[in-house]
Amino acid sequence: MDFTISDTMKAVLELVNEFVDKELIPMEHEFRNKDFRDLLPELAKKREMVKKMELWGPNIPKELGGMGLDLMDHALVSEALGRSPLGHYVFGCQAPDAGNIEILHLHGTEEQKKEYLSPLARGEIRSCFAMTEVDMPGSNPVMLETTAVKDGDYYVINGHKWYTTAADGAKFAICMAVTNPEAPQYLQASMIIVPTDTPGFNLVRNIPVMGHAGSDYFSHGEILFQNCRVPKKNLLGQEGQGFVIAQERLGPGRIHHCMRWLGICSRAFDMMCRRANERKITPDGKTLASRQIVQQWVADSAAEIQAARLMTLYAAWCMETVGHKEARDDVSMIKYVVANTMQRVVDRALQVHGGLGMTDDTVLAFFYRHERAARIYDGADEVHKAALATRILKRYRDGAK
Ligand SMILES: Cc1cc2nc3c(=O)[nH]c(=O)nc-3n(C[C@H](O)[C@H](O)[C@H](O)COP(=O)(O)OP(=O)(O)OC[C@H]3O[C@@H](n4cnc5c(N)ncnc54)[C@H](O)[C@@H]3O)c2cc1C
């Protein structure tokens, strides 16, 4: 594989990095200390600047007003944006909207595209994705309790979801519900578009996560669907194809997440090195950088980030060249390798900052709190490891290895 970055992409990355440094990082103190909703007017201005620079929606198809980058190039942009918690939101490629745009683009009817996809791609509305349930194991999502029962021209949805990221303020949810209980388990569920102002769509609360309930885009909702009636035309794709579509959504989504986490690694690493060089720890002016343990953290982090980055770019390349199914071992590997690399690097950077690292005066404590979830969502570490090992061992049993 070829790691050369095209001249166009070099120019794009320079612009993106400069924007993150000059426009977003200076806003972060306010972001950490204010309600996210209060920041929306300022963030809307930043989004307009991004659109004027023609950098909006790196992963959004050109016909929908985005840059239409392929997976590899978007991965590089995602890394640059990941350096700030505001990056993806301001450039219009934030989860879960990015994944929802993808599936609406692939499976939406013309009417759904007009009503939901176009304004979503333009950043005029937001969306959320409601699959995980309070009482059922998200790690085995075929075990869903939420049902969508046909009644004339409507589906009537009942169920209890949570961790519906960014439900607060979203215009619509894509809800995963059982429509075909008699079918084989993998073909029982469908995706249904539910406008959040539909009676029976109840946002119970924004769940406090590591001490913060957040608001608007930066929140995770608990949702009760109570006799929530939506027209049958809101079905996304075919009935019973919910899990098939969800798999399509998760593959590229994991590459985006991993590259975002590598952006976090790069920011934390940068902060760790700067602090190590600046912080004097003896009267004769020796700094933390003079200590072997800190040097070891720096060396280990540099090597681990490099390894995780190469694995992720390789997985993206495999996905583009040989396809999603063939790349699934690589995608499973990066999911837990990068999440754990990020956790270690952020932890070391925080340790080097001492008491300062624990405060909200730097971004490190935010990363520490919020990004712990990386080892849980989109498949917990253990689930990916078990799936990968099962496939490898089967290949050995089948004599392929
Ligand atoms: C910050 C955050 C954002 C999220 N956003 C969304 C969203 O927008 N939409 C949505 O639908 N969901 C979302 N989720 C939910 C997420 O997908 C689930 O939390 C995840 O799938 C795990 O499901 P669970 O929480 O039910 O854990 P469980 O399935 O109960 O698993 C608990 C633990 O058991 C272990 N485990 C489970 N299965 C196995 C196994 N086979 N082998 C070994 N160990 C195992 C793992 O350690 C796992 O962490 C989000 C979660 C978080 C934390």
- Per-residue pLDDT reduced to its tens digit, 83-129: 999 999 999 999 999 999 999 999 999 999 999 999 999 999 999 99
- In this structure, the answer to whether residues 218 and 255 fall within a common structural domain is no
Give me the domain span that covers residue 55: 7-101
3-state secondary structure at position 154: strand
CATH of the domain at 80: 1.10.540.10
Specify whether 231 is located in the same domain as 275: no
Identify the residue whose C-alpha is closest to ligand 1 atom 16: 377
Inside any domain, residue 115? no
C-beta 127 within 6 A of ligand 1: no
- Whether 163 is in the pocket of ligand 1, judged by its Cβ within 6 Å, is yes
Which whole number is the average pLDDT over 286-310? 98
Choosing from 202, 217, 236, the residue where a domain stops is: 236
- Return the number of other C-beta atoms located less than 10 Å from residue 393's C-beta: 11
Say whether pLDDT at 401 is over 70.
no
Last residue of a domain, one of 190, 212, 236: 236
DSSP one-letter string for 307-337: HHHHHHHHHHHHHHHT-TTTTHHHHHHHHHH
Residues 6+ apart with CB under 8 A from 211: 369
Q: What is the pLDDT, as a whole number, of residue 247? A: 85
* Protein residue whose Cα sits closest to atom 39 of ligand 1: 383
385 and 276, same domain (yes or no): yes
pLDDT digits (tens, 9 = 90+) for 353-380: 999 999 999 999 999 999 999 999 999 9
Rounded to 5°, angle at Cα 270 from 353 and 335: 100
Residue 22 C-alpha to ligand 1 middle, in angstroms? 36
- CATH code of the domain containing 345: 1.20.140.10
- Please compute the mean of the pLDDT values over residues 155-163 and round it to a whole number: 98
Residues 231 and 249 in one domain: no
Q: Please tell me the distance between residue 334's alpha carbon and the centre of ligand 1 in angstroms.
A: 17
Would 213 be classed as within a structural domain?
A: yes
Distance from C-alpha of 268 to C-alpha of 363, rounded to nearest angstrom: 9
Question: How does DSSP classify residue 371?
Answer: G
- Of the candidates 135, 128, 146, 43, the one whose C-alpha atom is nearest the C-alpha of residue 85 is 43
Q: Does 110 map to a domain?
A: no
CB atoms within 10 A of CB 391: 12
Domain check: are 157 and 19 in the same one?
A: no
User: Which residue shows structure tokens 């794009």?
Assistant: 12
19-48 pLDDT, tens per residue? 999 999 999 999 999 999 999 999 999 999
